[in-house]
Chains A and B, each alone.
Chain A
Amino acid sequence: EVQLVESGGGLVQPGGSLRLSCAASGFTFSSYDMHWVRQATGKGLEWVSAIGTAGDTYYPGSVKGRFTISRENAKNSLYLQMNSLRAEDTAVYYCARVSGGYCSSTSCYEGGAFDIWGQGTMVTVSS
Chain B
Amino acid sequence: QSALTQEASVSGTVGQKVTLSCTGNSNNIGSYAVGWYQQISHGAPKTVMFGNSLPSGIPDRFSGSKSGTTASLTISGLQPEDEADYYCSTWDYSLSAQVFGGGTKLTVL
* B90 / chain A contacts, CB cutoff of 8 Å: 112-113
A35 at the B interface (CB under 8 A): yes
Q: Closest residue to B101 on the A side, CB-wise?
A: A44
Instruction: Please choose the segment from A7-15, A16-24, A68-76, A115-123 that sits at the chain B interface, where 4 or more of its residues have CB less than 8 A away.
Output: A115-123
> Are A39 and B34 in contact, with the CB atoms below 8 A?
no
> Are A47 and B97 in contact, with the CB atoms below 8 A?
yes
Instruction: Please choose the segment from B10-18, B40-48, B74-82 that sits at the chain A interface, where 4 or more of its residues have CB less than 8 A away.
Output: B40-48
Complex Cα spacing A58 to B37, Å = 22
Instruction: Determine the main DSSP class of B at the interface with A.
Output: strand
B47, B51, B55: the one within 8 Å of A109 (CB): B51
A45, A100, A111: the one within 8 Å of B89 (CB): A45
- 12 cross-chain CB contacts under 8 A: A44-B102, A47-B99, A58-B96, A101-B51, A102-B51, A109-B66, A112-B98, A113-B51, A113-B89, A115-B47, A117-B45, A117-B47
